[in-house]
Amino acid sequence: MDQKFDFKDLFILDMANNHQGDVEHGLNIVRSFAKVVKGREARAALKFQFRQLDTFIHPDHQKKSDHKQVQRFMSTRLLRDKYQLLLDEVRASGLISMCTPFDEASVDIICDMGFDVIKVASCSGKDWPLLEKIADAGKPVIFSTGGLTIRDIDNLVSFFQHRGVHFAIMHCVAIYPTPDQNMNLQQIALLRSRYPGTHIGWSTHESPSDVTPVQLAVALGAELFERHIGIATKEAPLNAYSSTPEQADTWRV
């Protein structure tokens, strides 16, 4: 298993569902942010999120649901062949490929498609069947810590160490967008002290126009960084925590 990976100075660009279920819009996002990355001579990964909606969403909610996240997932659904087109563009653009699986079936697809890195979302930090599947994948792993206790993080670190997984940790606050008073950036220093030799980063959801928090994160020792990204359209305005290409260009430190 080829797990060794250089996490240092990595910028993770999370497209999430901001492709809006439109592959052409998704390709525009990949190409636009690849230009920013190239112009800054940065090293970046473009990250997708995979959920197998036929099994991930309860049958009672498949056709109609008042849950806004279910509505969001269903309305922005992309089939695997469309994701393959996006992945091909990521590779052609010289970006690293990364994906967050939210169910075990998605891990198999990530491996079949040959993604470089697996990302564990904060909400999956105690999903042990999923974590077991990820550990078996033989890929480098980055996990976020939003909502997790120190004991939870200790358990994840011990698990991945014992399974021989090469991993990095992201401080994260699972509030979208994150107010200044809730960023808890000192946690970066705590994680660096508690897990020496492990790369510590910051997965951030503050206002994309505010560059002060990322500067503070760097000062506290963060070595990799993650932001949601997208491009606003007339039909689909961008959410309050996703960066445009212009904002990402100023966010690069």
pLDDT of residue 53: 80
H or E segment and range at residue 108: helix 104-113
Cβ atoms of 200 and 168 closer than 8 Å: yes
DSSP 95: P
Tell me the whole-structure pTM to 2 decimals. 0.94
Cα of first residue to Cα of last residue in the chain, in angstroms, is 33
Q: And the tokens for 107?
A: 């891990």
How far is 153 from 172, CA to CA, in rounded Å? 12
DSSP 168: E
Q: Dihedral angle at the C-alpha atoms of 200, 205, 209, 214, nearest 10 degrees?
A: -10
- Tens-digit pLDDT string for the chain (253 aa): 455 899 999 999 999 999 999 999 999 999 999 999 999 999 999 999 999 988 888 888 887 888 888 888 878 889 999 999 999 999 999 999 999 999 999 999 999 999 999 999 999 999 999 999 999 999 999 999 999 999 999 999 999 999 999 999 999 999 999 999 999 999 999 999 999 999 999 999 999 999 999 999 999 999 999 999 999 988 888 999 999 999 999 876 4
H or E segment and range at residue 74: helix 68-75
pLDDT of residue 68: 81
pLDDT of residue 1: 43
Interior angle at CA 224, CA 220 and CA 229, nearest 5: 120
How far is 93 from 31, CA to CA, in rounded Å? 7
